[in-house]
Amino acid sequence: MKPLAQYAAIIVGLVLLGTTPLYADNYILRTAATVAMYGALATSWNFIGGFTGYPSFSTAAFFGLGAYVGTICQRNGIPMGVAWTIATVSVAAFAALLGGIILRLRGHYFAIGSIAIVELCRLIVSSWSDLTGGGDGLNVPLIHASPDAVTRLFLFVMLGILAASLVVTIIVDRSRLGFGLRCIHQNEDAAAMVGINTTAYKIAAYTLSAVFCATVGAAYASWTGYIDPTDSFQIVMTVKVAVMAILGGAGTVVGPALGAAAFVLLEEVFWANFIDWNRAILGVVIVLLIFFLPGGLLSLRARLRRASGGAA
């Protein structure tokens, strides 16, 4: 995709989601916010999973930690925005430290290690009852405003995070860092040989993949008003985000967000209309998409062009 087309696609997408309050009800707004939320998560995953080619499954760990740090700050009287910032910074620092250890693993071993992080975080959070309330979970002070205002606020917050993650993606994509990460993806040893500091690059990618997840987690906690270890550290979420990114096109700029949008909308439709069969249908759709479109939804354009004899 050419840069100009990329920017246009991003702006159209954000405007499309951002204008929903003008005509739609709160349910549509919430769906739009969910699209933005998963869009930000999938775009984050793209740094490590897409550019670098390291199959990370730590998304839910960063999301959950963000939610807990944000909530604990808010419960101690720190204003919402500041709490989100603290959550973001501290989880990023945690990811950088963790990255230094876990990125020594490669391939399947890394994938398993990164899943273990989610479980580990869940166990620690649920055992540390004094701080986290353990299995009881924590209540976040509810925002006292009309439901319309609350939904709108969180739609814009999620959109803001999505936009930020996309901007960072564009910067990385066009910078030396993005180039280096792609080299690591193709051949890590060769990349090291031509003078790329692979460890530092990988840690940077891993940290970037955590930053926005933490902000999303903290914002989500303020939105729902209640978090507990089981819902905050969900393996399902971690897998879902990776599927979304692959669905849209891993390693591209707009692909992951597009994949998230498609996935959330499909989910929404099947859940609402096929109460007994939703999981089966969704599974079939994912299998079909990955089977017929291994390059993700973005490769649809190239295919269309070829199908119509290159005229488009």
Partner 1 sequence: MSRQGFFRSARLALMAGGLATGIFASVPAGAQDADTIKIGAPLALTGGLADEGKKQDIVWKMWVEKVNDAGGLQVGDKKMKVELIEYDYQSEGQRAAQLAEKLITDDKVQFLFAPFGSGHTKIVAGVGERYQVPTIACVASSESVFDQSFSHLFGTLSPNGGMTTAMVKFFKQKFPDTKTIAVLGRDDVFPKSMAEGIAKAAEDGGLKVVYKELYPVGTMDHAAALSSIKAAKPDWIYVTGYTQDLILARKQMQDLGVTAPIVTMVTGPSYKEFTEGLGPLANGVTSSSWWHYATSYKGQGVWPTTADFYSDFKAKTGGDPDYVHGSCAAAGEVIADALKRAGTLDKAKVRDAIAATDIQTFYGPIKFGPNGMNLVRELPIIQVQDEAIKVLAPADIKNADMIAMPK
Q: Which residues bind partner 1 (CB under 8 A)?
A: 25-28, 30-31, 34, 123, 126-127, 129, 134-137, 139, 142, 147, 150-151, 220, 224-226, 228-231, 234, 236, 262, 265-266, 268-269, 271-273, 275-276, 278-279, 285, 288-289, 292-293, 300, 303-304, 306-307
How far is the C-alpha of 15 from the C-alpha of 9, rounded, in Å? 10
How far is the C-alpha of 280 from the C-alpha of 270, rounded, in Å? 10
Q: What letters, b where the CB count within 10 A reaches 16 and e where it falls short, cover 56-83? A: bbbbbbbbbbbbbbbbbbbeeeeebeeb
Question: What is the nearest approach in angstroms of partner 1 to the Cβ of residue 14?
Answer: 17
Question: What is the nearest approach in angstroms of partner 1 to the Cβ of residue 257?
Answer: 15
Residues 6 or more apart from 11 whose CB is under 8 A from it? none
Q: Which is nearer to partner 1, 168 or 293 (CB)?
A: 293
Q: Which is nearer to partner 1, 19 or 127 (CB)?
A: 127
Question: What is the nearest approach in angstroms of partner 1 to the Cβ of residue 194?
Answer: 39
Residues 87, 212 contacting (CB under 8 angstroms): no
Q: Which is nearer to partner 1, 109 or 226 (CB)?
A: 226
Question: What is the nearest approach in angstroms of partner 1 to the Cβ of residue 34?
Answer: 7
Question: What is the nearest approach in angstroms of partner 1 to the Cβ of residue 75?
Answer: 13
How far is the C-alpha of 36 from the C-alpha of 33, rounded, in Å? 5
Q: How many alpha carbons fall within 13 Å on the CB side of residue 18? A: 14
Q: Which is nearer to partner 1, 44 or 232 (CB)?
A: 232
Question: What is the nearest approach in angstroms of partner 1 to the Cβ of residue 147?
Answer: 5
> What residues are paired with 138 via a beta bridge?
227
Helix axes 255-273, 235-248, angle to 10 degrees: 120
| Rounded CA Rg of the chain | 19
Question: What is the nearest approach in angstroms of partner 1 to the Cβ of residue 103?
Answer: 27
How far is the C-alpha of 49 from the C-alpha of 43, rounded, in Å? 10
Q: Which is nearer to partner 1, 16 or 171 (CB)?
A: 16
Token representation of residue 124: 């620690």
Q: Which is nearer to partner 1, 21 or 100 (CB)?
A: 21
Q: Which is nearer to partner 1, 110 or 223 (CB)?
A: 223
Beta-carbon count within 10 A of 256 CB: 36
Q: Which is nearer to partner 1, 107 or 135 (CB)?
A: 135
Sign of the CA dihedral 143, 159, 241, 247? positive
How far is the C-alpha of 158 from the C-alpha of 31, rounded, in Å? 11
Question: What is the nearest approach in angstroms of partner 1 to the Cβ of residue 48?
Answer: 23
